[in-house]
Amino acid sequence: MTNFEINGKEYELKLTFPSIKYLNGLYNGGSYELLGKVMMGDLETFIKIVYAGLLHTCENFKLKDVENVVSELIEQGKLSQNTITKILNEVVVNHPFYKDTVDKLLQDNKQAKEAMEQILK
């Protein structure tokens, strides 16, 4: 379970059908482009995934709210590239909806799989 603090309260980042639908519609390449950006630890994608992971709370957070919190955390030195990659892995790569696809993508690319494992140690 991965949590994210916003407005002084911690929430679980959880992907549901509406959040997955939102994420898969972000990029022209659909879920495959999304997964590529996730595995690269893309900052813009991280912000959108945190936003999507908060949709289930029904708190009506705005994307800009999430971006402001992420910006503050980075400026305070509380959020690193490594942490972003780990969160993206926990929330998206290990989610049952995406996991089989990621496993198949990495199956034929042992270097990418080893690199991901090394980063996530």
Domain count within the chain: 1
Per-residue pLDDT at 105 = 78
Candidates 46, 108, 91; CA nearest to 73 is 46
> Cα-flanking dihedrals φ and ψ of residue 81, to 5°?
-60, -40
**Which positions of the chain have pLDDT values less than 70?**
109-121
**Host domain of residue 9:** 3-119
pLDDT single digits (tens) 60-82 = 899 999 999 999 999 999 999 98
Per-residue pLDDT at 118 = 62
Per-residue pLDDT at 40 = 86
DSSP track, 15-82: --HHHHHHHHTSSTTHHHHHHHHHHHT-HHHHHHHHHHHHGGG-S---HHHHHHHHHHHHHTT---HH
Please report where in the chains the tokens 């972003």 appear, as a residue. Answer: 84
Say how far apart CA 36 and CA 116 lie, in whole Å: 12
Average pLDDT, the chain: 89
Candidates 62, 69, 107, 64; CA nearest to 87 is 69
**12, 2 contact by CB (below 8 A):** yes
